[in-house]
Amino acid sequence: MRHAFTTRLLHLLLAGGIVLQLADSQLMRVPRPGRELTALQGSAFAVHQWVGLAMAVVIVLFWLWLTLRRVGTAPGQLFPWFSARRLRAVRTDLAGYARAATRLSLPDPETSGALAGALHGLGLLIALAMAATGTIGWLAWDQSAAMSSFAPGVFEVHGAIANLMWAYVIAHVGATVLHELVGHRLLRRMAPLPS
């Protein structure tokens, strides 16, 4: 299935922003009173703040689009956790992937969308949690003074969620590459511009 232009564009913005944020987080250092930062560490932190706020807007737009659109992956397919029928479909897809793996193959994503949808929904939840904790932490923190009492905890959660996002991005990109190698051409379907 080729997705709507808005879905493809928001996916590209979200993916690009997340990869930039994850990479940038490896270069930055959080400024604290009395802590010396290199120019690179300070600049990377500033980029992380502003790109993070922009990503919060993108993720909110993505969630709004999910609720307003009329075509594409159904929200129930993205979040099957409260439907016995949808969970059965996810388990069936998982079994199909396991069988295909024994033959060094992958099922066609057109016929096995329950697992892919659930995994995409999981990625959207992780992205939302990262955007929410980053934004709340940013709002609660004055760089020239001590953090409010709950801000350090928010940033701890933000960092823990970042580890989940690293795992998600690696798995998502890896699965996409594998699908491309077996000829499913997922990248062409998700490209924001017509091929």
Q: Is 90 exceeded by the pLDDT of residue 152?
A: no
What are the tens digits of pLDDT across the range 92-101? 999 998 998 8
Mean pLDDT for 67-79 is 86
Which amino acid is located at 175 in the chain? Answer: A
Q: How confident is the model at residue 26 (pLDDT cuts 50, 70, 90)?
A: very high
Q: Determine what percent of the chain is predicted with pLDDT higher than 70.
A: 90
- Domains of the chain and any CATH numbers: 5-190 (1.20.950)
| Lookup result for tokens 């993070």 | 52
Predicted pLDDT at 144: 59
pTM (2 decimals)? 0.87
* Residues 124 and 103 sit within 8 Å (Cβ to Cβ): no
**CB 113, CB 76: distance < 8 Å:** no
Check whether 52 has a pLDDT greater than 60: yes
pLDDT at position 19: 96
Each residue's pLDDT tens digit, 80-129: 999 999 999 999 999 998 998 888 888 877 777 889 899 999 999 999 99
Q: Which two structure tokens, joined as six digits, stand for 100?
A: 């295909």
Residue 195 has pLDDT above 60, yes or no: no
